[in-house]
């Protein structure tokens, strides 16, 4: 997928995620006027939500590996007149471009929690740059039931490589996102808790949710073709194509939901001396 397509996907699917991310932000109780870090910030939508929720004194720094994506993030923040409250910097979660103990909190949405090969490093890095006593949160999309009336098709799609990505077949089960609590504790985070939140879609979906769902269908299962029966693939195409009469979110009685799981805890006082 090109960067432009990826940016478009982030933009179009956000209305689906926004209500549940707002709910999660309320739960996390980040210090209202502190300095926070958003790891793998994408085009800045979650950082803007955070800035809107926190006090005007709060400053949020978004870090992303992609300069092109950050161009869009800066534009978005400008459009929200949040100048000075949201800033963006290029960098990798494996080696965050900050000194120790500079942030009051850090979170990562659909990034650090997912990346199977750099999760430990990302946790260590977030722990390093957050002050002792500060909060860390790993937030990620964890499941969905979106093909109402077609449970076998959905189960088969979910059993494909695309369906259970970003986890990979053969990975150490401990690397699965839902095993993040152990990784946080091992990394010097105390008071670790986990909760799952649900977002949902009722039919007939609005124009913007139709677009979000069409993009989501392509993103989640669009590369599953080689791993399912032709008949399953044809059915999936009809149910997920917004130009088809069978597009599921257009049905009056459609209902689907997805979950976001949040692992959070507090940086131990001794962590940075280890």
H-run or E-run covering 49: helix 45-53
Cβ proximity to ligand SAM, 138 vs 228, nearer residue: 138
Q: What's the Cα-to-Cα distance from 54 to each of 34, 60, 131, rounded to whole Å?
A: 9, 10, 19
Cβ proximity to ligand SAM, 11 vs 150, nearer residue: 11
Is 45 an interacting residue with respect to ligand SAM (CB under 6 A)? Answer: yes
Separation of alpha carbons 232 and 220, rounded Å = 15
Which among 88-96, 170-178, 187-195, 210-218 is the span making contact with ligand SAM, rule CB under 6 A? 88-96
Cβ proximity to ligand SAM, 156 vs 211, nearer residue: 211
Separation of alpha carbons 239 and 251, rounded Å = 10
Q: Which of 82, 106, 111, 215 binds ligand SAM (CB under 6 A)?
A: 111
Which among 64-72, 128-136, 151-159, 257-265 is the span making contact with ligand SAM, rule CB under 6 A? 64-72
Least spacing, CB of residue 90 vs ligand SAM, in Å:
9
Is 93 an interacting residue with respect to ligand SAM (CB under 6 A)? Answer: yes
Separation of alpha carbons 163 and 272, rounded Å = 38
Is 94 an interacting residue with respect to ligand SAM (CB under 6 A)? Answer: yes
Cβ partners under 8 Å of residue 167, min gap 6: 116, 175, 176, 177
- DSSP per-residue letters across 63-125: EES-HHHHHHHHHHHHHTT-TTTEEEEE-BTTB-SS-TT-EEEEEEESSTTT-TTTHHHHHHH
Least spacing, CB of residue 263 vs ligand SAM, in Å:
15
Do residues 104 and 30 touch, judged by C-beta distance below 8 A? yes
Cβ proximity to ligand SAM, 110 vs 154, nearer residue: 110
Is 106 an interacting residue with respect to ligand SAM (CB under 6 A)? Answer: no
Which among 26-34, 65-73, 186-194, 230-238 is the span making contact with ligand SAM, rule CB under 6 A? 65-73
Cβ partners under 8 Å of residue 222, min gap 6: 162
Separation of alpha carbons 24 and 39, rounded Å = 16
Q: Which of 34, 36, 46, 113 binds ligand SAM (CB under 6 A)?
A: 46
Contact footprint for ligand SAM (CB under 6 A): 10, 40-42, 45-46, 63-66, 69, 92-94, 109-111
């Amino acid at each position: 997928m090109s960067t432009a397509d990826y940016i478009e996907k982030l933009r179009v699917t956000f209305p689906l995620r926004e209500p549940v991310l707002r709910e999660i932000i309320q739960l996390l109780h980040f210090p209202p006027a502190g300095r926070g870090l958003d790891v793998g910030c994408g085009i800045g939508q979650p950082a803007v939500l955070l800035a809107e929720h926190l006090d005007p004194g709060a400053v949020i720094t978004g870090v992303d590996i992609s300069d092109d994506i950050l161009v869009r993030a800066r534009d978005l923040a400008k459009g929200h007149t949040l100048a000075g409250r949201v800033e963006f910097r290029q960098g990798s979660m494996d080696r965050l471009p900050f000194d120790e103990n500079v942030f009051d909190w850090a979170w990562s949405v659909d990034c650090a929690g997912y990346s199977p090969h750099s999760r430990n490093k990302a946790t260590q890095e977030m722990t390093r740059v957050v002050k002792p006593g500060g909060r860390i949160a790993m937030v990620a999309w964890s499941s969905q039931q979106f093909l109402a009336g077609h449970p076998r098709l959905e189960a088969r799609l979910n059993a494909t490589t695309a369906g259970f990505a970003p986890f990979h077949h053969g990975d150490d089960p401990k690397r699965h996102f839902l095993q993040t609590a152990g990784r946080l504790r091992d990394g010097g985070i105390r008071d670790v808790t986990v909760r799952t939140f649900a977002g949902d879609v009722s039919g007939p979906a609005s124009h913007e949710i139709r677009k979000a769902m069409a993009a989501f269908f392509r993103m989640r299962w669009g590369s599953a073709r080689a791993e399912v029966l032709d008949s399953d693939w044809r059915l999936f195409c009809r149910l997920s194509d917004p130009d088809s009469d069978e597009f599921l979110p257009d049905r009056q009685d459609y209902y689907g939901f997805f979950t976001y799981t949040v692992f959070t805890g507090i940086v131990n006082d001794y962590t940075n001396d280890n």
